[in-house]
């Protein structure tokens, strides 16, 4: 528990949670380990029962609810393993209570920050800004993490375009991004609600900072939309490369068939069992037939080469 004294402009660290005095603004953070202490404290607070229930039970999506003497804020933090942690906050004019089911680095960093910058605890709006800004930075780091993996996936398409694992990875990333997009969109709307000028627990000095955090977080939703389109493009690209490779195979088989068709015709012609056939008893007839087949096959192959139909794929690869 940290308490800011408006008279001395100093912060005091307290081990035992208590209600703030008239000239104090306090921040109290609890986890699952100290939940019983939180429940005892809530019994002595004159705030709406629904706010107390929301703080203990949480919500499915980020949201903000205003009550008579307080506001409830729910923030979701997602790490690079896509594990979601819900940060629940109750803000009043003199104190901010936060609760998470497990310890998070965000709370530890904020604790150190406030001890070195006491003025950031002089109003609940500053504390809310610190939470919102830290959450926005966490999401932006996650966006960079996703971007690097999608870029690697794009390169992998050209290296191994026929690997079935690429399609599986695209599907998994699309599912993750879809779930993350739902949370990010709700969180952005929640942050915009806090940034409104009529929100009671944000003052004129802290509101510009909150607006800055909102603008920073808006990049998250737009980036996630871009990622979804990019993943769709990667999947379509792999299908296109597979189709192109299949066309090359079919073209090669067709060209080979065309080359051997006249050879087969000549072999079939001289293989007919007629008694009187020209060149049938000719001394050089066998070599003549072979040369004729080789000439026709080679001529057709050279014609295809001149037209660019033979070996076209290798040229593009070079």
Q: In this structure, are 113 and 198 located in the same domain?
A: yes
Question: For 103-107, what is the mean pLDDT?
Answer: 82
Q: What is the pLDDT of residues 213-224, one digit of tens each?
A: 888 888 888 899
More confident residue, 286 or 148: 148
Please state, in angstroms and rounded to a whole number, the distance separating the CA atoms of residues 249 and 240: 14
Q: In this structure, are 156 and 104 located in the same domain?
A: yes
Q: What is the pLDDT of residues 160-205, one digit of tens each?
A: 878 888 888 888 898 989 888 888 888 888 888 888 767 777 877 7
Q: In this structure, are 87 and 161 located in the same domain?
A: yes
pLDDT tops 80 at residue 208: yes
Query: Residue 305's pLDDT band (boundaries 50, 70, 90)?
Result: confident
Query: Residue 315's pLDDT band (boundaries 50, 70, 90)?
Result: very low
Residues in a beta bridge with 75: 87
pLDDT tops 80 at residue 72: yes
- Residue 316 is inside which H or E element, if any? helix 312-317
Q: In this structure, are 272 and 226 located in the same domain?
A: no
- Using a pLDDT cut of 90, give the percent of the chain over it: 3
Q: Is residue 318 part of a domain?
A: no
Place of tokens 């879809």: 178
Q: What is the pTM of this model?
A: 0.73
More confident residue, 51 or 14: 51
Q: In this structure, are 22 and 59 located in the same domain?
A: yes
Q: In this structure, are 198 and 224 located in the same domain?
A: yes
Question: Which domain range does residue 284 map to?
Answer: 248-307
More confident residue, 273 or 112: 112
Identify whether the C-beta of residue 186 lies closer than 8 Å to the C-beta of residue 61.
yes
Query: Residue 317's pLDDT band (boundaries 50, 70, 90)?
Result: very low
Q: What pairing do the DSSP bridges indicate for beta strands 71-78 and 10-13?
A: unpaired
More confident residue, 125 or 16: 125
């Amino acid at each position: 528990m940290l308490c800011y004294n408006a008279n001395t402009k100093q912060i005091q660290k307290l081990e035992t949670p208590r209600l703030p005095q008239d000239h104090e603004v306090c921040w109290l953070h609890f986890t699952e380990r100290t939940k019983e202490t939180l429940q005892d404290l809530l019994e002595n607070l004159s705030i709406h029962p629904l706010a107390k229930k929301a703080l203990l039970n949480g919500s499915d999506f980020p949201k903000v609810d205003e009550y008579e003497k307080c506001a409830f804020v729910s923030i979701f933090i997602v790490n690079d393993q896509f594990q979601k942690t819900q940060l629940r906050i109750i803000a009043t004019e003199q104190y901010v209570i936060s609760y998470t089911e497990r310890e998070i680095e965000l709370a530890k960093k904020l604790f150190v920050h406030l001890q070195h910058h006491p003025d950031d605890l002089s109003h609940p709006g500053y504390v809310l800004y610190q939470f919102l800004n830290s959450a926005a930075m966490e999401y932006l780091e996650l966006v960079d993490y996703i971007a690097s993996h999608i870029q690697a996936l794009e390169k992998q398409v050209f290296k191994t375009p026929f690997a079935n694992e690429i399609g599986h990875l695209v599907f998994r990333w699309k599912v993750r991004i879809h779930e993350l997009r739902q949370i990010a969109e709700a969180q952005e709307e929640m942050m915009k609600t806090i940034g409104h000028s009529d929100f009671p627990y944000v003052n004129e000095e802290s509101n510009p900072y909150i607006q800055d955090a909102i603008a920073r977080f808006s990049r998250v939703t737009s980036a996630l939309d871009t990622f979804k389109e990019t993943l769709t493009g990667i999947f379509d690209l792999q299908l296109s490369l597979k189709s192109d490779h299949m066309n090359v195979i079919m073209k090669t088989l067709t060209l080979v068939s065309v080359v051997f068709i006249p050879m087969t015709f000549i072999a079939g012609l001289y293989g007919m069992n007629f008694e009187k056939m020209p060149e049938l008893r000719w001394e050089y007839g066998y070599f003549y037939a072979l040369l004729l087949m080789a000439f026709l096959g080679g001529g057709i192959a050279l014609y295809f080469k001149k037209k660019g139909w033979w070996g076209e794929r290798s040229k593009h690869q070079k």
